[in-house]
Structure 1
Amino acid sequence: MIKQNIVFIENKAGSLQKVTGLLAEAGIDIYGFACFDAPEFALFRMVTNQADEAEKILTENGYMNRVTEVIAVDLKDEVGGLNTVLQVLGNCNVNLDYIYTSYHRGNSLPIMILQTDDVFVTENVLSNNGFRVLNSLEG
């Protein structure tokens, strides 16, 4: 599994950039992210090269945030690639909380980042059905 940072950000101009600026200043690389807004706050999920350090920096700067574990799995870069993964998960009764994408730094192929109720079961379902589950997004 891979660590993910979740940050609550005030929903106003420049707020997201303040978070990314703090991480950039600290040399933390964001590999994949998703941001969902609500009326007052946005929820910014990201996979970085230093999740624990990112959490520390954000907390020191007054941001409510936490680290969770997510699954990262290779996607085939072809029509239906996402559908194939979702079909296997659906057939095995795996309920997705959310998904977002990233890509391999070396070959630019897509990666799906996902969260479920039981990440261990989901990891096994994916592995047992021929999908490559990643333990890092570096490289």
Structure 2
Amino acid sequence: MYQKKIPELLDCGLSVAIKVVGGKWKAWVIDCIRRGIRRPSAIHREMQAVNPRIVNLHLKELEELGIIYKEIFAEVPARVEYRLTPVGMSILPVMEALEQWGNENKEYVNRHQAGYAPGNCALLQETN
């Protein structure tokens, strides 16, 4: 099993929040479940741009973090659904605030993305 060389510092609230919703696809997975898309196959269909293996890894990690839980129904064939835990529900206002910020600033970010280069602080200077 892979172990990180530098341990995660999860004493900082921002680090914890980024661990939950950070990355390219986790917020999308959480949003699918929030909207009632709960079965793994339906989540894969909704997120068809993402490799199903990656979606499954995010589902597993979110489950391990206690953000979602897996409900297994005793049917043949077995049916699995994911649901948000109370802690998972509590992240939704944060995601809504991030979405609102993104919608309000997407043109600005897109306009400046082409001019961005590592070490270029021009963006920070513009907002001051």
Determine which structure has more spread, i.e. the larger CA radius of gyration. 2
Higher strand share: 1
Give the TM-score normalised by structure 1: 0.21
The structure showing larger relative contact order (alpha-carbon pairs under 8 Å, at least 6 residues apart) is 1
Give the TM-score normalised by structure 2: 0.22
Higher helix share: 2
